[in-house]
Amino acid sequence: MYKKNKISDKNNNNIMDIKKLIKRKLLILDGATGTQLQKLGMPQGVCPEIWAMENPELIQTVHKNYADAGADIVYTCTFGANQIKLDQYGKYDARIVNKKLAVLARKAVPANVLVAGDIGPTGKFVAPFGPLDFEAAVNIFKQQVKGLLDGGVDLFVIETMMDIQEARAALIAVRELTDKFTLVTMTYENDARTLNGTDPVSALITLQSLGADAVGSNCSCGPKQMLEIIKTMKPYAKVPLVAKPNAGMPQLINGQTVFSMQSKEFAGFAAKFSANGVSFLGGCCGTNPEHIQALKTKITKNKIKPIACARKSISAVSCARSHLLLDLAKSFSIVGECINPTGKKVLQEELRAGKMGLVRALAKQQQEQGAKMLDVNAGVAGIDEKKTLTQMINLLSVSSELCLVIDSSTVEVIENALRIYPGRALINSISAEQHKLDKLLPIAAKYGAMFILLPLNDREVPEKFVRRREIALQIFKQAQKHGFTKDDLVIDGLCMTISSHQGAGIETMKTIEWAAKVFKANSICGLSNISFGMPRRLLINSTFMAILRKKGMSMVISNPLHETEKYNKPAENILLDKDKNATKYIKYCHDSELKLKGLKLKPKAIENLSPKQKVAAAIIEGNKEEIKDLAKAAILAGCKPQELVQKIMIPAINQVGDLFDKKQFFLPQLIASAQAMKTGFEYLEPLLKNGQAETAKKNVIILATVQGDIHDIGKNIVALLLKNHGFSVIDLGKDVSAEKIIKQIKKHKNPIVGLSALMTTTMVNMKQVIDLANKQGISCRFILGGAVITRGYADSLGAAYAGDGVEAVRVAKSLSK
Amino acid sequence: MLAEKFEPIIVELPLLQIYSRLGYVNNKTHLSDKQRKQINAYISQAEALIELKGLAIIVGINKVTESEITLFNNLILKSDLLVKLLLNSSQVLFMGATSGETITKAISENSAPEGDMTQAVVFDAVASEMTDAALDWMVHYYNNTMRRQNKALTKRRFSAGYGDFAIENQKLIYDILNMDQLGVKITDSFLLVPEKSVTAIAGIEQITD
């Protein structure tokens, strides 16, 4: 947020005061509150905030102890004083509770110690990551903020956030009520991501652009690990950083869980934190006034001063689980354009029906083809654009790791999208159309979004670069008034079609070159417009992309499924206006089409393998797509079907089994080979007249997952492998009763019976089957398998055992002899 | 008291665990680029079909004897091993998670004779590992929220059917969590349906100074 919008408190010098203060000294925050209250007698299971309110002298003792120890800022005891949490303990008004606790804190410490209104999580994840509606979350936090303001806090701290969307909701609540200095700290797991997968840099980009005055981490881990989190943030921070680590991590010592780090060791990290941009340093779980005093002593004794983060601005976007640095000099980013229903009937129908399956698929496909961002547009006639775009953003925030470009021509739709998007978005686009410009710039500023600057206005879509530059500079001048810098915008090259104005390509090139090399900002272009109405559009689009990149374009809006950067001379000539009326290009397209028609498929490179060897290789490689053709080729080359099965395919599948046994192959390879074998065998089966393969097929094996058990994937694998080895498999399926199995056994002469079970509760049903067979004097041989089955268990029932599919084949073969 | 519902649960794709579950051994298993690409494509498809969600509830421990734990809601958990695990616990956390019906259906369809069995085994491994990861996620969530109360979950968690903690307890956990609200059913033999659904118990201990 570049320009503060709504201010309810009159005395707003505090931001400047704190900013001045952190230039001079490293500000010390307090330590853990809950454990201090427990030491003072707070019983287990009570609401700490209510207990503190009812025992004012004790919470004031905690605050005073921290102030005495050297804390420059103490947190109000309001971490859980939001309405959702308070409701779990009875009827309390959050605003009143917050006010009282803020007053207690203010009175407990001297005037030179600042009081921070503490806001913690509600315990509910916020949409789209959980059930709590975003606006409901904002309103819950607003109630808390009002109470803290009533109580006279000096600043705010939003802490221990696991959900970036909840942190955003809290920050918006603060920012819509006050300009007071606000710290936001997230809690990270061992993998340096929040529970929902937000990394520290993404959180930093999101929160600092949304108006946090300082960003950092609390709780999570000890100082050593937290220092690493801080280090990753520092290069991208334009705000001071905050660290409030635990006293190490909880450890199990002599059967007791403890925070083991002592105050001296804890304080030893102060200089390193300071050197990495931390201006606010304190303690979280496991820390006490001793830790804070040790920090104070260390900072004073060693004269540790804060070293401010150097950035003034950053060109970067973020989403819940990633971020993208738009480094003009280094990066080139494709914005996938496919999630736009304009001209796409299928997508339009899906969106009208409220379905999001295609949106999800398009996001995935574009990411796989190299898109770094996704343009999302829900502009379809007859649908609620705001609602549909919200659905899209919610879906993609959960299912995709790509940052979004909010694409709409409606101000209200953009505003809503920016409010709920859990990151820093890029707006597509803001032009000099006055009615929109006046509304969109403050909105973009409020939510800290970047925007694509489209150099056109109400009266004209300028053809010439010079006029585009003029309009771009006008927009930038207005944007600066809202706090935007060049890093916050991306200049659009305004791509128009060459079929109506052949110099259009050149004007776009000039615009891009100026944006990149003179104005020194990111630039972008909607690629596909250029070739509208021309033959072989991809050729022109791809060539145009290559040219514009050379001119310095850092982003492109394109279809990554089709368009790639590829140079073509005839296309270049029309783009550079060297081919009047595109006559040469059109002739080139015509000629190359004829040439393509005349071309025959080139034969594949001759491999050194014989046709028979190729069949074996297909089985080993698991190539079920080609094995039929390869088997056909081998037979045409003179190999007999029986020979192909016996001497080539079975040895090949046996080799796969050996490789699997040696762990040189793993399960998917084993199965893929078995499927290739099956496909090849199905082709050859009608051609097999006599021979061993047919004899082997006479061996019948009955397979079943026993009654009560619904797991059958293992049994299905065994069936596939047995079929590969010529067994005639009768698969009875899963959850099969003993009676049904016995009935089937009776139909065959001395068959092999494979029983599978995955649970200890269902393995007992194997015994039932075997007992029933014995009781009825039926002759058959059993093989048992499944996750819980052991060789010992099988032995105890007089059955054979197979640990996996390959072993099942070996055992079945041995029983068949 | 109602169980806390988590939907969606977002976890990082546990790629190493998925490969390991399928039998991949580092520096031993040979995989061509084509095969790896294909398997990764299956993993990616599976990930898109999985909808992780979960439930959790905390219940206080009333009494512990040598072989059973009585909870405040009068439920009794019988298991020597569980008693050992919950030795220092004042409460227990019940958790349940599922990867949803869509992936289970896809596994089932692909493991049929006319399906793509390779895809089925990969889908199966992805769903299993991601459902476990959903439980890990809940463990982290509760550790984070309880740390400020100076509490932590036991390092290990228990599932019904493990050791002497009988599979019949699955029904008890199912009921206490009301897993029906996730679309999960339980069979007479205590199996959860969809198949890629799991439950677990962990203890809540006080962190001492």
Any idea what the CATH number is for the domain that residue A773 is in?
3.40.50.280
pLDDT tens digits for range A112-148 = 999 999 999 999 999 999 999 999 999 999 999 999 9
Residue B193 reports pLDDT greater than 90: yes
Coil, strand or helix at A700: strand
Q: Cα B33–B39–B40 angle (5° rounding)?
A: 85
Q: Are residues A229 and A345 in the same domain?
A: no
Residue closest to A453 by CA, chosen among A485, A424, A481, A423: A485
Q: Are residues A583 and A623 in the same domain?
A: no
Instruction: Give me the pLDDT at residue A9, please.
Output: 44
Residue B130: give the domain boundaries.
4-206
Query: Are residues A193 and B12, on separate chains, in Cβ contact within 8 Å?
Result: yes
How far apart CA A673 and CA B35 sit, in angstroms, is: 11
- Tokens 């540790």 belong to residue: A304
**What is the value of pTM for the model shown?**
0.85
- CB-nearest to B208 from A256, A660, A668 is A256
Query: Are residues A195 and B120, on separate chains, in Cβ contact within 8 Å?
Result: no
At A280, the amino acid letter reads F
Q: Are strands B89-98 and B53-64 parallel, antiparallel or unpaired?
A: antiparallel
At B85, the amino acid letter reads L
Q: Is the CA virtual torsion A413, A416, A420, A425 positive or negative?
A: positive
**DSSP assignment of A393-435, as one string?**
HHHHHHH--SEEEEE-S-HHHHHHHHHH-SS--EEEEEEE-HH
Query: Are residues B113 and A719, on separate chains, in Cβ contact within 8 Å?
Result: yes
- Which residues of chain B have a CB within 8 Å of the CB of A364? 44, 48
- Which residues of chain B have a CB within 8 Å of the CB of A123? 145
Q: Does A307 fall in a domain?
A: no
Confirm if A343 and A336 have CB atoms less than 8 A apart. no
Any idea what the CATH number is for the domain that residue B108 is in?
3.40.109.40
Coil, strand or helix at A619: helix
Mean pLDDT over the full length of chain A: 91
* Residue A63 banded pLDDT, cuts 50, 70, 90: very high
Query: Are residues A197 and B205, on separate chains, in Cβ contact within 8 Å?
Result: no
Residue A561 reports pLDDT greater than 90: no
Q: Is the CA virtual torsion B82, B87, B92, B93 positive or negative?
A: negative
Residue A211 reports pLDDT greater than 50: yes
**DSSP assignment of A321-385, as one string?**
S-EEE--TTT--EEEE--S--TT-HHHHHHHHTT--HHHHHHHHHHHHTT-SEEEE----TTS-H
Residue A163, chain B, CB below 8 Å: the answer is: no
- Which residues of chain B have a CB within 8 Å of the CB of A187? 144
Residue A201: give the domain boundaries.
14-301
Could you give the number of structural domains in chain A?
4
Among A89-93, A124-128, A727-731, B71-75, the least confident range: B71-75
Instruction: Give me the pLDDT at residue A692, please.
Output: 47
- Tokens 């034969």 belong to residue: A603
How far apart CA A499 and CA A511 sit, in angstroms, is: 19
Residue A595 reports pLDDT greater than 70: no
CA A443 to chain centre: 26
Residue A599 reports pLDDT greater than 50: no
> What residues have CB less than 8 Å from A211, skipping those under 6 apart?
A1, A4, A171, A175, A182, A448
- Which residues of chain B have a CB within 8 Å of the CB of A255? 87-88
Q: Are residues A656 and A737 in the same domain?
A: no
What size, in residues, is chain A? Answer: 817
Residue A196 reports pLDDT greater than 50: yes
How far apart CA A206 and CA A447 sit, in angstroms, is: 9
How far apart CA A37 and CA A58 sit, in angstroms, is: 7
Radius of gyration of chain A (CA): 35
Mean pLDDT score, A90-95: 96
How far apart CA A661 and CA B114 sit, in angstroms, is: 27
- Which residues of chain B have a CB within 8 Å of the CB of A363? none
Helix orientation angle between A650-661 and A805-816, rounded to the nearest 10 degrees: 130
At B86, the amino acid letter reads L
Return the percentage of chain A with pLDDT > 70, whole number: 94
- DSSP state at residue A768: H
pLDDT tens digits for range A231-254 = 999 999 999 999 999 999 877 777
Going from the C-alpha of B200 to that of each of A296, A318, A800, the distances in angstroms are 45, 35, 33
Q: Are residues A285 and A326 in the same domain?
A: no
Q: Does A462 fall in a domain?
A: yes
Radius of gyration of chain B (CA): 19
Mean pLDDT score, A216-235: 95
Question: Largest alpha-carbon pair distance within chain A?
Answer: 101
Task: Return the residue in A188, A710, A715 with the most chain B beta carbons within 10 A, the one to mutate for interface testing.
Answer: A710
CA of B6, closest CA in chain A: separation in Å? Answer: 6
SS3 per residue for A6-63? CCCCCCCCHHHHHHHHHHHCCEEECCCCHHHHHHCCCCCCCCHHHHHHHCHHHHHHHH
Of the two residues A4 and A646, the one the predictor is more confident about is: A646
Among A17-31, A157-171, A551-565, B97-111, the least confident range: A551-565
**B123 token code pair:** 């889908």
CA of B121, closest CA in chain A: separation in Å? Answer: 7
- Which residues of chain B have a CB within 8 Å of the CB of A720? 117
Q: Are residues A681 and A812 in the same domain?
A: no
Confirm if A535 and A586 have CB atoms less than 8 A apart. yes
- Which residues of chain A have a CB within 8 Å of the CB of B87? 255
How far apart CA A417 and CA A425 sit, in angstroms, is: 9
- Which residues of chain B have a CB within 8 Å of the CB of A712? 111
pLDDT tens digits for range A694-713 = 444 568 999 999 998 888 88
Q: Are residues A423 and A563 in the same domain?
A: yes
pLDDT tens digits for range B49-95 = 999 999 999 999 999 998 999 998 889 999 999 999 999 999 999 99
| H/E segment holding residue A781 | strand A781-785
How far apart CA A585 and CA A571 sit, in angstroms, is: 6
Any idea what the CATH number is for the domain that residue A258 is in?
3.20.20.330
* CB within 8 Å of chain A, chain B residues 100-119: 107, 111-113, 116-118
Chain B nearest-CA residue for A673:
B118
Query: Are residues A668 and B113, on separate chains, in Cβ contact within 8 Å?
Result: no
Query: Are residues A44 and B90, on separate chains, in Cβ contact within 8 Å?
Result: yes
* CB within 8 Å of chain A, chain B residues 30-69: 30-32, 34-35, 38-39, 42, 44, 48
Q: Are residues A280 and A364 in the same domain?
A: no
Chain B nearest-CA residue for A254:
B208
Confirm if A547 and A358 have CB atoms less than 8 A apart. no
Q: Does A615 fall in a domain?
A: yes
Q: Are residues A351 and A252 in the same domain?
A: no
Residue closest to B142 by CA, chosen among B134, B150, B153: B153
Any idea what the CATH number is for the domain that residue A482 is in?
3.20.20.20
How far apart CA B129 and CA A79 sit, in angstroms, is: 35
| H/E segment holding residue A575 | helix A569-575
- DSSP state at residue A646: I
- DSSP state at residue A623: -
Mean pLDDT score, B131-150: 92
Task: Return the residue in B43, B88, B111 with the most chain A beta carbons within 10 A, the one to mutate for interface testing.
Answer: B111
Instruction: Give me the pLDDT at residue A114, please.
Output: 96
Chain A nearest-CA residue for B34:
A621
Could you give the number of structural domains in chain B?
1
Query: Are residues A672 and B35, on separate chains, in Cβ contact within 8 Å?
Result: yes
Residue A606 reports pLDDT greater than 50: no
**B115 token code pair:** 């399906």
Domain final residue, candidates A660, A687, A714? A687
CA of A177, closest CA in chain B: separation in Å? Answer: 27
Query: Are residues A368 and B44, on separate chains, in Cβ contact within 8 Å?
Result: yes
pLDDT tens digits for range B148-172 = 888 999 999 999 998 899 999 999 9
**A134 token code pair:** 């975003």
CA A752 to chain centre: 49
Coil, strand or helix at B155: coil
Q: Are residues A730 and A587 in the same domain?
A: no
Residue A608 reports pLDDT greater than 80: no
pLDDT tens digits for range A316-371 = 999 999 999 998 777 899 999 999 999 899 999 999 999 998 999 899 889 988 99
Query: Are residues A713 and B187, on separate chains, in Cβ contact within 8 Å?
Result: no
Domain final residue, candidates A301, A328, A348? A301
Instruction: Give me the pLDDT at residue A594, please.
Output: 64
Mean pLDDT score, A379-398: 94
Residue closest to A623 by CA, chosen among B34, B171, B16: B34
Mean pLDDT score, A288-308: 95
Cis peptide before A235 (omega within 30 of 0): no
pLDDT tens digits for range A421-441 = 999 999 999 999 999 999 999
**DSSP assignment of B70-131, as one string?**
EETTS-EEE-HHHHHHTTTEEEEEEEEEE--HHHHHHHHHHHSTTS-HHHHHHHHHHHHHHH
> What residues have CB less than 8 Å from A270, skipping those under 6 apart?
A26, A281, A295, A298, A299, A302, A304
Q: Are residues A266 and A353 in the same domain?
A: no
Residue A720, chain B, CB below 8 Å: the answer is: yes
Chain A nearest-CA residue for B91:
A45
Any idea what the CATH number is for the domain that residue A667 is in?
1.10.1240.10
Query: Are residues A622 and B10, on separate chains, in Cβ contact within 8 Å?
Result: no
Give the A:B interface size as CB pairs under 8 Å. Answer: 165
Query: Are residues A716 and B120, on separate chains, in Cβ contact within 8 Å?
Result: yes
Query: Are residues A663 and B10, on separate chains, in Cβ contact within 8 Å?
Result: no
Domain final residue, candidates A301, A336, A356? A301
**A44 token code pair:** 């287990």
Task: Return the residue in A129, A662, A667, A766 with the most chain B beta carbons within 10 A, the one to mutate for interface testing.
Answer: A667
How far apart CA A566 and CA A588 sit, in angstroms, is: 16
Mean pLDDT score, A32-37: 92
- Tokens 């010390």 belong to residue: A28
Residue A557 reports pLDDT greater than 60: yes
At A354, the amino acid letter reads G
Instruction: Give me the pLDDT at residue A696, please.
Output: 47
| CB contact burial A396-406 (16+ within 10 A = b; e otherwise) | bbbbbebbbbb
Confirm if A702 and A752 have CB atoms less than 8 A apart. yes
Q: Does A525 fall in a domain?
A: yes
Chain B nearest-CA residue for A622:
B35
Strand partners, A256: A253
- Which residues of chain B have a CB within 8 Å of the CB of A196? 10
Residue A601 reports pLDDT greater than 80: no
- CB-nearest to A663 from B19, B25, B161 is B25
* CB within 8 Å of chain A, chain B residues 118-137: 118, 120-122, 124-125, 137
Q: Are residues A585 and A708 in the same domain?
A: no
**On the CB side of A228, how many CA atoms lie within 13 Å of its CA?**
12
Q: Are residues A716 and A626 in the same domain?
A: no
**On the CB side of A182, how many CA atoms lie within 13 Å of its CA?**
28
> What residues have CB less than 8 Å from A16, skipping those under 6 apart?
none
* Residue A1 banded pLDDT, cuts 50, 70, 90: very low
**B45 token code pair:** 């498809």
Instruction: Give me the pLDDT at residue A465, please.
Output: 96
Query: Are residues B148 and A79, on separate chains, in Cβ contact within 8 Å?
Result: yes
Coil, strand or helix at A748: coil
Residue closest to A339 by CA, chosen among A370, A369, A373, A383: A373
Phi-psi region of A406 (alpha: psi -120 to 50; beta: other; left: phi over 0): beta
